[in-house]
Structure 1
């Protein structure tokens, strides 16, 4: 039940913020894994003590986070890109709606919806992406520009979460970095559809799967381009034959 890669879409910060109903800051607690009600999926649950609500109307001071994947009774489910939590992390999370079935909250953007809070040079709180210095990896780019990271002051993020129209709201979540990506960095297809928040992520097509499709299109174009001159030559020959048959009797009559 594993997949090899997850594609993240690099979107404006305001767009990512507007798509979720709840944004909170809190301190993580213990985590555990359990089966979903259908017994086909495994989720990892993490306790969170809320210290601040940046968006939404969550009144509880303690909530349960739910991330796809985990291990239970000897079974493992791995979802690349799912948010990972250690204990006592200071985090800001972009959360979905409340799940009444297990009293939890999902993170629709997976790891892109998790920010760790660190202290800046002037002592101000800064939000950084949960993968450190290289949150996103684009194999189509030159190696010198393959790393992506997110870093935004908490107060700026708070204003964006409130819906204020400030220049930073139009900035992308992730910016390019000159540093090379670390081993195992997640792939990012910036023109691809957004990731599925739960379940196994489909594997990308291999070159062997893509090549036949390309070759088939080329073959169709080749046949089509050859048919045009062949059709013209055939029509010309038929026309000449018909003209010869029509004119031949009149010549015979003239000679008579």
Structure 2
């Protein structure tokens, strides 16, 4: 039988995929975006106060799930922006509108600049550095395994530890290797998420402008400002949690 945590994980993944496929009302999107930001802050605080990697061994799995969750929210918000962006600034929800107005002062040029800076910091500095750290940590952990195993065998043969303690230490070594290997793979997903965020933002701006001008018959400047402001607000809402988790 699967444990309750495994069942919850499976239900969570299915729910995330449903958000990606099924149109989401703006009120529900606001709630999900708030959950995303709260989760990111919580994960950041837990990882800061964790003494050893094994104390937070589910971190790689959380990285994958939160990355998938962010991408599904990106798809849901893109659908709302492109379908209803011409109606009002709150078409994609209050959270995106608030980020678009409060964080960037309602100026879409400033918003684009702030968004580009956040993407550069996240992608070039943090994500690239984290990817390298995870790769090196995984390599050194695997390289150190034989030496640690020999040390445990030597302590066991010398009578310094019993068989139970030796088995416990070997289990810890194996779990550490699994953790660092999983982190090496999970960080690659986070880096791909940063690239996807940039591409989605560009698509939103260009597609929104085309839809607003040619389908919704909006004035060119109104379409540019409306869709860019919503898209930048959406980009900031997704990039800030990504920055925190990275």
TM-score > 0.5 by shorter chain:
no
Q: What TM-score, normalized by structure 2, do the two folds share? A: 0.20
More strand by share: 1
More helix by share: 2
Q: What TM-score, normalized by structure 1, do the two folds share? A: 0.19
Higher relative contact order (CA closer than 8 Å, sequence separation 6+): 2
Structure showing greater Rg:
1
